[in-house]
Amino acid sequence: MVSRSLSLYSQIAEIGAFDCHTHIDAAHPVARGIHDILLYHMVISDLYSAGCPDGSRLSEDPDAGEVERRIEGALPYLPRIANTSCYYAMALILKELFDWDEPVTIKNWWRLDEVIKARSAREGRLGQIMAQGNIVMSNTELWRGRDGALDEVFTYSMEWSFFTRAQWGRHDTALIELEHAWNHDAPCPPLPVTLTEGEADFPKKIRTLDDVEEALAHYLEKTPFGKIMAIASHFSCEINYGGVSAPQMAEALSRRGRSTPKERDIYANYIFNRYLELYESGGYPAVLQFSTGAEPLPFETGSRMDSKTVFELARIFAAHPKIKFNLHVSNMAQNQAFCTLARELPNVSLNGYWWHNFFPSFIPRVLSERLDMLAVSKVVGFFSDAYTMEWAYAKQRFIRVFTADVLAEKIAMGQYTEPQALDIARWLFRGSAEEIFDVRV
């Protein structure tokens, strides 16, 4: 079995991969220094759990002072997470992309930082990492494409307003998200998952049903469909999904200042259902891509997916058969339920391994279940969710290894021949995403 997995892995490594969901920024697609490797948000979560006092994400553009403070605050806790797969991925990056195999300490981190900066400054560094990982194209947030200088390696998704996302301690999030778009003339970075009061203070406020209609029309008008392959958002299982009438919405809007979870559900459902009606009637081409299975905690999220939510979403998907819905799920417990949705609803497809699923104990099980239950054209087998190409490199290595293991097991039991398994791998790493998102890379 081991030799068969290794043989398959060497062949799967030759398959060019389309990374269909990342946050890589064209302004700095490779690591700017040690902080972009060591303080990737998944590693920060490990460090925070081990006692590091700061669990917040690093700033988008940290200055030298923030980098030094956060690195030196994290390093004492690094040995405590050496057992984790995130640490292993980080070590893989350092060894294979920077020829560094020493423990990172207070005494040597400056030297490693200089090594990373020097490598990243080399001409063609982005292409080198992509070639080493056989990543042929990446998809990132539209605003991160900047001036289009890297359009030859990027496709784009728009992340702007998340109408069905819950916020920690707030009940008018759907209104805030729609106001966020209404108050901008072009797509811009989305609101953070943990929203502060000042970040929700917009000049134009939604007070009436007419405001909702005007804001949704603005959102659709300003969506640059010719530049994007998907619109990315999130389904929160805090929300109870169902139908909402216009009078119910009007009454709920009058209670915005004292809203409760009841109003939260009304706001989210009315806005989202109305958006889907407009989207389907307009025949817009972009796939609607949703994450689900992760709910807010003070700094990041925890894995949670309610079984009732799965079938509330099923009713939504079934009611809009002309819209493609593409899901990445962060809760393994509901993988079977989502497989049944994708199996029975032609407009639903699944992406593999997001946040709390991206671990060696979960990836093989999720993949094996999906291959048994779904047409391979409904299963996207790789996306990295990375913020630099180094982390995309590490994640493709993980997924290629576990894909080889799963396929080797199915060959051993006689379910697949080796040629069939390799054809399936080509679908998983590239073909399914190309078909679902209607792109050729």
Strands 301-303 and 294-296: antiparallel
Q: Is the pLDDT of residue 50 over 80?
A: yes
Give per-residue pLDDT as tens, 178-210: 999 999 999 999 998 777 777 778 999 999 999
Q: Is the pLDDT of residue 2 over 70?
A: no
Q: Is 221 helix (H, G, I), strand (E, B) or coil?
A: helix
* CATH architecture of the domain covering 31-131: Orthogonal Bundle (1.10)
Q: Is the pLDDT of residue 1 over 50?
A: no
The pLDDT of residue 4: 67
Sequence-ordered list of residues with C-beta below 8 angstroms from that of 125, at least 6 positions apart, any chain: 30, 119
Q: What number is the average pLDDT over the span 331-335? A: 90
Q: What number is the average pLDDT over the span 354-373? A: 95
132-437 matches 31-131 in CATH topology: no
Q: Is 115 helix (H, G, I), strand (E, B) or coil?
A: helix
Give per-residue pLDDT as tens, 306-327: 999 999 999 999 999 999 999 9
Residue 6 — very low, low, confident or very high, per pLDDT cuts 50/70/90?
A: confident
pLDDT averaged over the chain? 95
Task: Please tell us whether the domain made up of 132-437 is placed in CATH 3.20.20.140.
Answer: yes
- Which has more confidence, 333 or 3? 333
Q: What span, in angstroms and rounded, lies between the C-alpha atoms of 13 and 8?
A: 8
Q: What span, in angstroms and rounded, lies between the C-alpha atoms of 230 and 144?
A: 15
* CA-to-CA separations, 166 to 26, 124, 132, 192, 199, in angstroms, rounded: 29, 41, 39, 11, 15
Q: Is 259 helix (H, G, I), strand (E, B) or coil?
A: coil
The pLDDT of residue 3: 66
Q: What number is the average pLDDT over the span 244-257? A: 97
Sequence-ordered list of residues with C-beta below 8 angstroms from that of 107, at least 6 positions apart, any chain: none
Q: What number is the average pLDDT over the span 284-288? A: 96
Q: What number is the average pLDDT over the span 216-244? A: 97
Which 8-state DSSP code applies to residue 275? H
User: What are the residue ranges spanned by the domains of the chain?
Assistant: 31-131, 132-437
* Sheet hosting strand 135-141, strand order edge to edge: 17-19, 135-141, 154-158, 230-235, 287-292, 325-329, 348-351, 379-380
pTM of the model: 0.95
Residue 87 — very low, low, confident or very high, per pLDDT cuts 50/70/90?
A: very high
Sequence-ordered list of residues with C-beta below 8 angstroms from that of 66, at least 6 positions apart, any chain: 58, 59
CA 145 to chain centre: 16
**Lowest mean pLDDT across 69-73, 273-277, 296-300, 382-386:** 296-300
Q: Is the pLDDT of residue 244 over 60?
A: yes
Pick from 359, 300, 388: nearest CA to 41? 300
Please give the structure tokens belonging to residue 95.
């060894």
